[in-house]
Structure 1
Amino acid sequence: MERKRNTPTIHTIISPLLFILAFTSILELSISTLSFDFYAGSCPNVELLVRNTVRSAAAFDQTAPAKLLRLVFHDCMVEGCDGSVLLEGNGTERADPANASLGGFQVVDSIKNLLEFLCPGTVSCADILALAARESVMIAGGPFVRILTGRRDGRVSSISNVRPNMVDTTFSMEQMAQVFSSKGLSMEDLVTLSGAHTIGTAHCRAFGDRFGEDAKGRPIPVDSSMDRDYAEQLISQCPPNVNPDVTVNNDPATAMVFDNVYYQNLMRGRGLFHSDSELSTDGRTRDQVQFFAQNQEAFFQSWANSFVRLTNVGVKTGDEGEVRRICGAVN
């Protein structure tokens, strides 16, 4: 008697197929979305390695945290948070004069070199930059912020994209609000993220628009919102024909500490840039400035939320970008 063949049923054919499709969907989801544990399996110590490298850099150069924080702003506001500001070459974002004073590149490169040795081809420069900025705030005394990872590095960096997307220190409130709104960021985010000026330095030319000359050619303040004593202090630090490399502290009181003194300075007319002073004089933002000046914890809580939103602007995931082998050049 002929034995009956065991022909595969529809169930036995479809089940493996469904498993494959489900696994593929999960895999695609894991490589195309940000998550808090994106590198848990591929490079589990990435955040610790970034933290230790930034701490070492800050111990050697106390301005390193401010440089790294500024760097992530200049990255995310142009092309999104994709590491495009790190790319070198003629015609890139770094070639724009507005980015000439950026620093912190060597710290990012040091982190990248270490991670390429330990976890080759795994951690993007965009994630390194976001994590390094996060650590910089904490090292300077600010709050710890848990941020998502999984960003991919962009392949495009164009000098022509810088000016239309960056907030200039001479901007009015309307101009600043327009730029932030175009990135999906609110007026509250604008006030909060401006608090980054609580640390760092600026070249004298960055606030030169706030001064004019009297009949004898001596510098005089032309911005009535500035405290007179503070204006005189800046004039003494930045006299006529000053060396262009001379810098002054953004925050004249606690220059290297991430705190709410920046907002206290604004309420006293001691904002370094015209864009700073706009925050304390405009009716739409003055109350928030005053609230932060009185309540550091409120500023820190708002910073945590706004910083997450900033570092999620225009991120690239999955096949939208790549993981660069070196941060200064595309693969």
Structure 2
Amino acid sequence: MTITSNIYVMPLTSSNHINVALNLVYFTVTLCCSLFFNFYAASCPTAELIVRNSVSSSSSSDPSIPGKLLRLVFHDCFVEGCDASLMLLGNNTEQSDPANRSIGGFSVIESAKRVLEFLCPGTVSCADIIALAARDAVALTGGPMIQIPTGRRDGMVSVASNVRPNILDTSFTMDQMINRFSNKGLSLFDLVILSGAHTIGTAHCSSFRDRFQQDSKGKLTLIDKSLDSSYANELMKECPLSASPSVLVNNDPETSMVFDNQYYRNLVINKGLFQSDSALLSDNRTRRLVEDLAKDQQFFFQSWGQSFLKLTTIGVKTGDEGEIRSFCASTNA
């Protein structure tokens, strides 16, 4: 069975995205499988509220939580689909891959799951909790609150070797990013919009160290000329060669705790933290869209809802597929 959702879509090929946003094309998108809006209305009516409260309370004590939850949903959905495979613990699971060792937010998902298992045992999947928590993280930090369908089931396979061929690296070229997104059914438009997730969150120094090199005196120097020199100097101060691997910097140097369009405003003045960020401005296929998003936050918010919906329905398991785990860190078997 399928469901349909009436949403607005802005064509990427327009020469003026701001004007297009005012004359949106209204059409129907068919979502895969058996996802439904308000899926738990009868079986667990407080499910979404419980997830939202878990995100809110955790974020109150740790402001980094929203960024962690947003990163979590990306890393989960790009490997095995949105099925909470990233939550599974064990030898050689997805969490074992170095790219996932810095992923956080698991405790928020587990906290919500414990409450839901008490109130509605065997009903709400960990996969749905991850998608809802990321949705709520955006709204909590000032972004749009959007409705997403639920009914995902939890996967039973989690293998470390599946991680690298599927996720993105911060050093990727535009063509590499397009290829990975295309493989997930996501467009060039989705690539630019979903990159806006970097408007919140933090990054380890190693994730952008390739933009610098060590000179003959043992100091870092800038080699990536697409990066603003003053911003580069700030980054070198925050991340010297002697910096601990645990040192973090904000993805967005201006409004790091607010989900807004500052990310795109940073890009147009060459202050994108990652090489993959800067590629969005330097590539003629995406530059105009970046510039339009930098000028119009409402356009970004409307577009975010569309692309986030697509992200959170990648490879979902429904019906008889997968299971509803009792604990997110292990299968029921």
Q: For 2:216 and 2:94, how far apart are their aligned partners in 1?
A: 40
Amino acid at match of 1:124: S
Q: For 1:214 and 1:294, how far apart are their aligned partners in 2?
A: 38
Q: Show the counterpart of 2:249.
A: 248
Cα deviation, residue 145, structure 1: 1.1
Asked if 1:179 is matched to 2:186, the reply is no
Q: Per-residue CA shift, 1:250-296, capped at 9, x if unaligned?
A: 00000000000000000111000000000011000011100000000
Q: Secondary structure at the match of 2:208?
A: helix
Unaligned stretches of 5+ residues in structure 2: 2-32
Amino acid at match of 1:293: A
Q: After TM superposition, where is structure 1 displaced by more than 2 Å over at least 4 residues in a row? A: none
Q: For 1:76 and 1:281, how far apart are their aligned partners in 2?
A: 27
Unaligned stretches of 5+ residues in structure 1: 1-24, 26-31
Q: For 2:218 and 2:278, how far apart are their aligned partners in 1?
A: 25
Q: Show the counterpart of 1:3.
A: none
Q: Show the counterpart of 2:327.
A: 326
Q: Show the counterpart of 2:142.
A: 141
Amino acid at match of 2:122: G
Q: For 1:299 and 1:264, how far apart are their aligned partners in 2?
A: 12
Amino acid at match of 1:60: S
Amino acid at match of 1:304: G
Amino acid at match of 1:309: K
* TM-score in terms of structure 1 length: 0.90
Amino acid at match of 1:183: K
Cα deviation, residue 320, structure 1: 1.0
Q: Show the counterpart of 2:164.
A: 163
Q: Secondary structure at the match of 1:319?
A: coil
Once the two structures are aligned, what percentage of the paired residues are identical?
Answer: 60
Amino acid at match of 2:86: V
Cα deviation, residue 214, structure 1: 1.9
Q: Show the counterpart of 2:217.
A: 216
Q: Secondary structure at the match of 1:202?
A: strand
Q: For 2:170 and 2:48, how far apart are their aligned partners in 1?
A: 32
Cα deviation, residue 173, structure 1: 0.2
Task: Compare the two structures and name the one with the higher strand fraction.
Answer: 2
Q: Per-residue CA shift, 1:296-326, capped at 9, x if unaligned?
A: 0000000000000000000000111100000
Amino acid at match of 1:311: T
Q: Show the counterpart of 1:259.
A: 260
Task: Compare the two structures and name the one with the higher helix fraction.
Answer: 1
Q: How many residues align?
A: 302
Q: For 1:240 and 1:125, how far apart are their aligned partners in 2?
A: 39
Q: Secondary structure at the match of 2:299?
A: helix
Q: Show the counterpart of 1:39.
A: 40
Q: Show the counterpart of 2:317.
A: 316
* TM-score in terms of structure 2 length: 0.90
Q: Show the counterpart of 1:282.
A: 283
Q: Secondary structure at the match of 2:193?
A: helix
Asked if 1:111 is matched to 2:117, the reply is no
Bigger radius of gyration, 1 or 2?
Answer: 1
Q: Show the counterpart of 2:132.
A: 131
Cα deviation, residue 215, structure 1: 2.1
